[in-house]
């Protein structure tokens, strides 16, 4: 609350000048209305009291007071009060998060059945599910840290990689939490906005804690210990958020709140993001005050005239009452907050927000059409995401290349370009193998033996050949059969070899 007050200001402060004529009119009209109720001099006091209608001396609020109060509220709303930044829909819904998971033999302890590591995976999965639309990266560390997955919004990429993490895939034993912190900060350095780093661990070497004090990002810790136990080493980190493991969802809720606070702080420090206009809040008290117009003696007849002047056409009435108070983009944002992405796509007029809503709603062809009409690196990146989810791999590659042309050295775009290229190569290779029947198993002229039927004699049979049917796109993807643990083990070993050289 204190930070919000420190950031409070008006976006369009020049509108506050209209308060001067508002108060001037108020000052001139109110005394005149009071003098009109006074009894002329020369009348006896007891007769003057009898001639008065009502107890006007006790009347503190007049119709002009209500009108001027509404004018003040509307003027303040037009000035655009604000105290927080508006999020960019193409960047993230919440702060970027890097999860550093400790993968050691101690994490295989069974005091949290089935094991600390498995329960940690469950908690990470729950946290990812609550951050729908937000980017999350994954790091595994023991004696050395390794990036498992870059920042991504797709939870389906993180889950299989997370399941494949076991102490057996880690090339070195130990506790390199400080090195994991450095790797996490490098990942966040490439993000559009500052984010947070979450360590999921059961213990930490005291020598590693000192490096945590100099962390640039917000630090969070999820301690995988039985309820009631804590890590005393983390007491030295006064600015970190420590969430002890709980059998319920209290720990995940606390972590989510800490990540959200990190996002709010990041928006306040990000000058490239627009301030969020909060003037709409003042519309509610102004609307409540306007109800006084319908009281006897308070009716302002020109209010209905102004209503018809501001809404002269029948189209506005057909759209409903929301159009009187909210713009289409504001209605679209409300739908986005309620996760009604398809409705939001139909309501938004801003192309960025509209395309993003279409992408979230799974309307990939429409999102592609919107993003392709924009000439920004973010639009090209979003177009590539829409195309790759629609299994249009060649156009997706072209879109990511365009994004890199518009913003060179963009790590996320470079990573997605490599992923799209690898998928395209795999699909084409699988299609060629399917078309040439290289994986058909038994083929023509293969020799088989039937000792019972031929009494031990060798016989040659002609296997029936069938025309190989091309595999569908879904079959190509589902045909991937990779041992994730072997993949991670080999990749981590290769990374260590490269670093040692």
pLDDT for the residue 222: 95
What is the per-residue pLDDT for 467? 45
- Percentage, residues of the chain above pLDDT 70: 71
Of 207-211, 320-324, 436-440, highest mean pLDDT: 207-211
Q: Tokens at residue 291, please?
A: 């109800």
pLDDT of amino acid 482: 45
pLDDT averaged over every residue in the chain: 77
Contact of 188 with 96, CB cutoff 8 Å:
yes
Average pLDDT over residues 383-402: 91
155 pLDDT more than 70 = yes
- Backbone conformation region of residue 16, classed left if phi is above 0, alpha if psi is from -120 to 50, else beta: alpha
Q: Which residue, among 170, 174, 222, has the nearest Cα to 196 in the 3D structure?
A: 222
pLDDT confidence tier of residue 22, bands split at 50, 70 and 90: confident
If one compares 224 and 257, the residue with the highest pLDDT of the two is: 224
Q: Answer with the residue of higher pLDDT: 465 or 494.
A: 494
At 51, the pLDDT band (50, 70, 90 cuts) reads low
| pLDDT value for 310 | 43
Percent of all residues in the chain with a pLDDT value above 90, rounded to a whole number: 27
Residues 6+ apart with CB under 8 A from 150: 137, 187, 411, 412, 415
Give the separation between CA 242 and CA 255, rounded to whole angstroms. Answer: 8
Residue 385: phi and psi, rounded to 5, are -65, -40
Q: Give the helix/strand (H/E) hosting 251.
A: helix 250-269
Q: How far apart are CA 223 and CA 119, in angstroms?
A: 11
pLDDT (mean) for 304-324: 47
Statement: residue 398 has pLDDT above 70: yes
For residue 468, name the pLDDT band (cuts at 50, 70, 90).
very low
Mean pLDDT of 311-330: 58
Residue 286 has pLDDT above 60, yes or no: yes
> β-strand 97-102 against 196-201: which pairing, if any?
parallel
- In this prediction, residue 210 has a pLDDT band, given cuts at 50, 70 and 90, of confident
pLDDT tens profile 339-374:
888 999 999 998 989 998 998 888 999 999 999 999
Question: Over 80: is that where the pLDDT of 9 sits?
Answer: yes
Domains of the chain: 2-83+277-308 (no CATH), 97-269 (3.40.50.410), 314-401 (1.25.40), 424-500 (no CATH)
Sorting pLDDT into bands at 50, 70 and 90, what band is 34? very low
Whether the pLDDT of residue 451 is over 70: the answer is: no
Nearest to 224 by CA among 138, 135, 100: 100
**Does residue 60 carry a pLDDT above 70?**
no
- For residue 132, pLDDT over 80 is answered with no
pLDDT score recorded for residue 454? 47
pLDDT beyond 50 at 476: no
In this predicted structure, the answer to whether residue 91 has a pLDDT above a threshold of 80 is no
- For 112-131, write each residue's pLDDT tens digit: 989 999 999 999 999 998 88
Query: For residue 40, is pLDDT > 80?
Result: no
Strand 81-82 to 9-10 pairing: antiparallel
Is the pLDDT at 444 greater than 50? The verdict is: no
Q: How confident is the model at residue 311 (pLDDT cuts 50, 70, 90)?
A: very low
Q: Taking 90 as the threshold, does the pLDDT of residue 105 lie above it?
A: yes
| Greatest distance between any 2 Cα atoms in the chain | 143
Is residue 437 left, alpha or beta, with left meaning phi > 0 and alpha meaning psi from -120 to 50?
left
């Amino acid at each position: 609350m204190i930070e919000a007050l420190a950031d409070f200001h008006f976006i369009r402060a020049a509108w506050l000048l209209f308060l001067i004529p508002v108060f001037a009119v108020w000052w001139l009209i109110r005394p005149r209305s009071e003098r009109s109720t006074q009894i002329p001099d020369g009348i006896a006091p007891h007769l003057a009291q009898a001639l008065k209608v009502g107890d006007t001396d006790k009347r503190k609020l007049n119709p002009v007071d209500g009108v001027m109060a509404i004018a003040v509220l509307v003027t303040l709303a037009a000035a655009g009060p604000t105290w927080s930044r508006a999020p960019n829909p193409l960047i993230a819904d919440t702060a970027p998060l890097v999860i550093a998971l400790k993968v050691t033999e101690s994490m295989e302890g069974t005091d949290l059945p089935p094991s600390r590591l498995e329960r940690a995976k469950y908690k990470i999965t729950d946290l990812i599910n609550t951050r729908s639309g937000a980017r999350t990266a994954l790091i595994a560390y023991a004696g050395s840290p390794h990036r498992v997955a870059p920042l991504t919004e797709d939870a389906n990429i993180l889950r299989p990689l997370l399941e494949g993490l076991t102490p057996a895939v880690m090339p070195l034993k130990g506790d390199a939490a400080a090195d994991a912190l450095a790797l996490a900060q490098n990942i966040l350095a490439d993000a559009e906005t500052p984010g947070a780093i979450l360590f999921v661990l059961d213990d930490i070497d005291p020598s590693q804690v000192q490096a945590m004090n100099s962390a640039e990002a917000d630090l969070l810790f999820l301690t995988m210990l039985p309820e009631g136990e804590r890590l005393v080493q983390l007491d030295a980190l006064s600015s970190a958020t420590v969430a002890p493991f709980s059998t319920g969802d209290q720990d995940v809720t606390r972590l989510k709140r800490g990540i959200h606070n990190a996002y709010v702080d990041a928006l306040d420090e990000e000058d490239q993001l627009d301030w969020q206009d909060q003037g709409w809040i003042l519309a509610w008290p102004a609307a409540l005050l306007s109800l006084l117009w319908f009281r006897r003696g308070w009716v302002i007849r020109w209010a209905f005239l102004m209503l018809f002047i501001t809404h002269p056409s029948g189209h506005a009435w057909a759209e409903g009452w929301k159009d009187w108070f909210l713009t289409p983009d504001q209605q679209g944002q409300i739908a986005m907050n309620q996760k009604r992405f398809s409705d939001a796509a139909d309501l938004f007029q801003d192309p960025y927000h509209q395309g993003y809503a279409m992408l979230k709603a799974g309307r990939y062809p429409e999102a592609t059409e919107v993003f392709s009409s924009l000439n920004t690196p973010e639009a090209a990146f979003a177009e590539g995401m829409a195309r790759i989810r629609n299994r249009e791999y060649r156009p997706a590659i072209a879109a990511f290349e365009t994004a890199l042309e518009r913003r060179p050295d963009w790590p996320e775009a470079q990573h997605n370009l490599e992923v799209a290229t690898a998928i395209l190569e795999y699909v084409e290779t699988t299609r060629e193998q399917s078309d040439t029947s290289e994986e058909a198993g038994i083929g023509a002229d293969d020799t088989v033996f039937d000792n019972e039927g031929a009494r031990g004699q060798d016989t040659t049979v002609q296997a029936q050949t069938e025309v190989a049917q091309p595999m569908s796109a879904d079959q190509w993807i589902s045909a991937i059969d990779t041992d994730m643990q072997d993949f991670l083990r080999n990749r981590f070993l290769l990374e260590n070899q490269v670093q040692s050289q």
